[in-house]
């Protein structure tokens, strides 16, 4: 598969991820798309990002989430050098 075709598939995925209107619809879609472990890991990464934005330390986040230090490092790197997805969505959520 070439990069353009893959980009089209990723765009399609993004479009269907925007479709659910309720938490229940979103959860059903995630359960169809991902394994339970994948959903669990995404949930913990998002929660860890929220905790980082609240000023929690690595040790506090590891204690609360049981994420590995490598995964936590990736979340931290995404917050500081990523595309801004965590920050934009989580800051929008905090304003609600």
Do 55 and 44 lie in one domain? The reply is yes
* Domain count along the chain: 2
Using alpha carbons, list the distances in angstroms from residue 28 to 15, 83, 93. 16, 27, 21
Do 18 and 48 lie in one domain? The reply is no
Do 42 and 29 lie in one domain? The reply is no
Which domain covers residue 49, as residue numbers?
36-96
For the four alpha carbons of 14, 17, 84 and 42, in that order, the dihedral sign comes to negative
Do 8 and 54 lie in one domain? The reply is no
Task: Collect all residues with Cβ–Cβ distance below 8 Å to 78 and sequence separation of at least 6.
Answer: 49, 85, 86
Do 67 and 94 lie in one domain? The reply is yes
Do 27 and 61 lie in one domain? The reply is no
Q: Residue 67's CB: how many other CB atoms inside 10 A?
A: 19
Q: Would the pTM of this model clear 0.85, i.e. be above it?
A: yes
pLDDT truncated to tens, each residue of the chain (96 aa)? Answer: 899 999 999 999 999 999 999 999 999 999 999 999 999 999 999 999 999 999 999 999 999 999 999 999 999 999 999 999 999 999 877 666
């Amino acid at each position: 598969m070439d990069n353009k075709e893959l980009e089209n598939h990723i765009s399609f995925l993004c479009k269907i991820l925007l479709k659910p209107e309720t938490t229940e619809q979103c959860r059903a879609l995630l359960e169809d798309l991902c394994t339970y472990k994948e959903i669990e890991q995404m949930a913990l990464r998002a929660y860890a990002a929220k905790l980082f934005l609240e000023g929690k330390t690595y040790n506090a986040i590891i204690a609360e989430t049981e994420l590995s230090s490598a995964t936590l490092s990736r979340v931290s790197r995404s917050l500081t050098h990523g595309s801004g997805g965590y920050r934009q969505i989580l800051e929008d959520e905090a304003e609600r």
